[in-house]
């Protein structure tokens, strides 16, 4: 891991404030080497998910919120919501898009309606809204499992591209 480089023009008080902020939200700790690398991020996200049902154009999963995907407020981090939505949307789109086509994520929109706290179980329902020759749109709903409260709404647009023959 690289050492932090601080500009000589930066006042020491500012450096102390910024460093203090990052330490207060859990930053600055050393990340173990086994969690660094190319394939770690998707593996960590996938470890949170348990698939319940797979049908053509539909996918249902259960997400258990773990501490390593929580923010300073002990709720599911917004970036984790986006990563989970992308993985689930790709899996759902693959139920209708043939494997000889490559999926390219063109847009992912996320609406944050309520928070999912640490150790909460969240039902994720994904469904293909539209699928054509060049475009696939997937809608994803995150609901708290016990209360049926809608927490996040997502919509992913994929471009279907034929795999190049080189």
Q: What are phi and psi of 98, to 5 degrees?
A: -65, 150
Between 13 and 28, name the one with better pLDDT: 13
Name every residue whose Cβ is closer than 8 Å to that of residue 22 and which is 6 or more positions away in sequence: 28
Q: Which pLDDT score is estimated for 21?
A: 76
Residue 57 to residues 92, 149, 154, 162, 163, Cα–Cα distance (Å): 6, 23, 16, 20, 22
Cβ-contact 120, 70 below 8 angstroms: no
CA–CA distance, 65 with 91 (Å, rounded to integer): 20
% of the chain at pLDDT higher than 70: 85
State pLDDT tens for residues 117-165.
999 999 999 999 999 989 999 999 999 999 999 999 999 999 998 766 6
Report d(CA 93, CA 71) in Å as an integer. Answer: 29
Q: How would CATH label the architecture of 40-162?
A: Roll (3.10)
Domain ranges in the chain?
40-162
pLDDT at residue 82 tops 90: yes
pTM of the predicted model as reported, rounded to 2 decimal places: 0.77
Residue range 62-68: mean pLDDT, rounded = 92
Question: Could you give the angle at the alpha carbon of 55 between the alpha carbons of 164 and 61, nearest 5°?
Answer: 95
List the structure tokens of 46.
Answer: 């996938």
Max distance between CA atoms of the chain, in angstroms, equals: 59
For residue 108, the Cα-to-chain-centroid distance in whole angstroms is 10
């Amino acid at each position: 891991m690289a050492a932090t480089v601080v500009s000589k023009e930066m006042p020491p008080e500012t450096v102390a404030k910024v460093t203090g902020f990052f330490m207060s939200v859990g930053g600055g700790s050393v990340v173990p080497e086994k969690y660094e690398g190319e394939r770690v991020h998707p593996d960590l996200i996938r470890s949170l998910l348990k698939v319940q049902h797979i049908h053509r154009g539909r996918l249902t999963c259960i997400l258990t919120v773990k501490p390593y995907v929580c923010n300073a407020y002990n709720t599911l981090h917004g970036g984790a919501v986006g990563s989970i939505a992308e993985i689930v949307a790709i899996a759902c789109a693959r139920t209708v898009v043939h494997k000889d086509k490559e999926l390219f994520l063109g847009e992912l929109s996320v609406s944050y309606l309520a928070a999912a706290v640490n150790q909460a179980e969240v039902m994720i329902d994904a469904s293909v809204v539209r699928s054509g020759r060049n475009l696939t749109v997937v809608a994803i709903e995150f609901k708290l499992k016990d209360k049926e409260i809608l927490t996040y709404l997502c919509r992913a647009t994929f471009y279907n591209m034929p795999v190049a023959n080189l």
